[in-house]
Amino acid sequence: IGMGKLVAAIGKFLCFVQVNQSTVGIKEQFGKFEEVLHPGCHFVPWITGKRVTGQLTLRLRQLDVRCETKTKDNVFVTVVASIQYRAMEDKANDAYYKLSNPKAQIQSYVFDVIRASVPKLELDDAFEQKNEIAKAVEEELEKAMFAYGYEIVQTLIVDIEPDEKVKRAMNEINAAARLRVAANEKAEAEKIVQIKRAEGEAEAKYLSGLGIARQRQAIVDGLRDSVLGFSGNVPGTSAKDVMDLVLVTQYFDTMKEIGAASKSSAVFLPHGPGAVADIASQIRDGFLQASTQQAK
């Protein structure tokens, strides 16, 4: 560092000035602007009143501006804008002389545009129209800063931060809405399941009844064929005699099955010749009624 200062001092004594890359030098003579010096080594004879009063960087710079304002629905938010700017080489004298603090100037214009734009929008619209806000800020800055020799390269609205209580309330509203949708979907699904279950039960009952009816019809048809065939093969017997014989046979078969079942405990049935006749009469009446209904 000491050597660099020594070299600079010797160069200045010999009237040579170095301008670094990405910067320009501002040359004056007796305090009056004369020209802009580009990067390199320049001869500036100080004995004639000429000197380099300063250097201006041409590098791209960034300024982050935080602006607090209020939306149309009275929600206070902090808008964070990122401004990328640089001095224009062909207007370096304006950039050097006209503005002493370009950051403060840019910040003032950003505040002015944001506080004029955001209060016209509701909170949700402000989030959706970030690009429009950034475009309005950029247009205003370009018009204002061009006169001072600065170029606005890019303007971004990087964040819109509502108050912490507002963010918490928004999250709760969103969560409640999602829970409401989920509850509706669940209720609709349960409704569909119950309807399908009821339809299935109705169909099952219908098919079960249809099967019982067909079973009874088959029994009646089988008994009728048996009675007619027995009466035709055994002369002197009537249909009633054959029916009684069939019913008595079925009665004893049933008693045999009940006694053979391992899980049977006790069954009380009337027993005796008179009881058999009663059972035969009841079964016969039941079959006749079923036959009559089928004929109808």
Q: What is the pLDDT of residues 41-80, one digit of tens each?
A: 888 887 788 888 888 899 999 999 999 888 888 888 889 9
- Angle (nearest 5°) at CA 289 between 285 and 293: 170
Which tokens belong to 90?
A: 């062909």
Among 138, 133, 108, smallest CA distance to 120 is for 133
How is the chain split into domains, by residue range?
3-57, 61-162, 186-254
* Chain segment 15-36, per-residue pLDDT in tens: 778 888 888 888 888 888 888 8
Q: What is the CATH number of domain 61-162?
A: 3.30.479.30
Rounded alpha-carbon distances, angstroms, from residue 81 to 63, 157, 215: 8, 4, 85
Sheet holding 50-57, edge to edge: 32-37, 23-29, 50-57
Q: What is the pTM of this model?
A: 0.52
Distance of CA 104 to the CA centre of its chain: 42
User: So what's the pLDDT on residue 196?
Assistant: 86
Residue with the two structure tokens 């309807």: 195
Cα–Cα distance for residue pair 183/187, rounded to 1 Å: 6
Among 116-120, 229-233, 277-281, the range of highest mean pLDDT: 116-120
* Chain segment 121-135, per-residue pLDDT in tens: 888 888 888 889 999
Contacts of 292 (CB under 8 A, 6+ apart): none
